[in-house]
Amino acid sequence: MKLNEKEMKEMKKMRIVVLSLILLFVICSVASAARQLSEYPIGMTQDEALAKGLVMQDQHGGTVNVMFGGKAWPAALVFENRKLVYLIIKENGDDYLTAADDGLWHIGWIVIHAATERNLVFDAIKLAASGKDEIAIGEEYEKFLEIMRSQNFTNLNSTYISPRVWAAFALLRGENPVEKYPDATICNVSIEGKDVTLVFSSIGYVDKMNRQSPTR
């Protein structure tokens, strides 16, 4: 049966509607399939990650969508000897800056080091070594943030650890935390304007990469 011009137009509109609905379904399915970032702990095996939706890009790693701070993020997972050594999430925008803060606050992680683009530095471990308690260290960090805001800094690089790791580090007396707790997970947060990148790894692996860097 041959369709007239009007029927052809209606059929074209219907195809567009159907394709739009299929696309919307795919987008919603991808968003709903995003797992919590905590389901990809540093040290997990490549097979475990594949079972949780990882799509391998090459033999070294792959990508997956994760939820963190109430937002969906694209994540890159990097493996060495089939063990997860880096998990990286990166996005842009005020909502993702907020999500990064909310995500770290929700899991209770605390900042131990922070630096701005003009060498304003906060060092919690150094403050603890000088005898300051947690309250005093918290006050020092608030001062750091106040100076940062007053001088309109736009770049910030921070390192976060869990309270459990902090408690372990606090017990060290002159011992190297890298040697004592090489598997402790840390998170580096890099903010440049509205770009935010979170890199999860182990303190031992980060130290190893730093030692191998040609700039050091």
Query: Which amino acid is it at 148?
Result: M
Determine the Cα–Cα distance for residues 33 and 153; give it in Å rounded to an integer.
Answer: 37
pLDDT band at 114 (very low <50, low <70, confident <90, very high): very high
What pLDDT, on a 0 to 100 scale, did the predictor assign at position 18? 37
Percent of the chain with pLDDT over 70: 82
DSSP letter string, 19-36: HHHHHHHHHHHHHHHPEE
| Residue 134 and residue 150 in contact, taking contact as beta carbons nearer than 8 Å | no
Average pLDDT of the chain is: 82
Determine the Cα–Cα distance for residues 78 and 83; give it in Å rounded to an integer.
Answer: 8
Which of 212, 125, 209 is CA-nearest to residue 160? 125
What pLDDT, on a 0 to 100 scale, did the predictor assign at position 173? 65
Check residue 111 and report its DSSP letter. Answer: E
Reply yes or no on whether the pLDDT at 125 is more than 60.
Answer: yes
Reply yes or no on whether the pLDDT at 157 is more than 50.
Answer: yes
What pLDDT, on a 0 to 100 scale, did the predictor assign at position 19? 38
What pLDDT, on a 0 to 100 scale, did the predictor assign at position 134? 85
Angle in degrees, CA 25, 29, 35, rounded to 5 = 165
pLDDT, one tens digit per residue, over 170-183 is 777 667 777 888 88
Tracing tokens 């990809």 back to the chain, one arrives at: 40
What pLDDT, on a 0 to 100 scale, did the predictor assign at position 36? 94
User: Taking the mean position of all CA atoms in its chain, how far away is CA 188?
Assistant: 8
Reply yes or no on whether the pLDDT at 93 is more than 70.
Answer: yes
Determine the Cα–Cα distance for residues 50 and 142; give it in Å rounded to an integer.
Answer: 41
Determine the Cα–Cα distance for residues 189 and 201; give it in Å rounded to an integer.
Answer: 12
What pLDDT, on a 0 to 100 scale, did the predictor assign at position 174? 65
Determine the Cα–Cα distance for residues 35 and 53; give it in Å rounded to an integer.
Answer: 8
Percent of the chain with pLDDT over 90: 54
Angle in degrees, CA 47, 62, 39, rounded to 5 = 55
Tracing tokens 């050091």 back to the chain, one arrives at: 216
Reply yes or no on whether the pLDDT at 14 is more than 80.
Answer: no
pLDDT, one tens digit per residue, over 23-74 is 333 333 344 468 999 999 999 999 999 999 999 998 889 999 999 999 999 9
Reply yes or no on whether the pLDDT at 17 is more than 80.
Answer: no
Pairing mode, strands 83-92 and 71-80 = antiparallel
Maximal C-alpha separation, the chain: 88
Determine the Cα–Cα distance for residues 187 and 182; give it in Å rounded to an integer.
Answer: 14
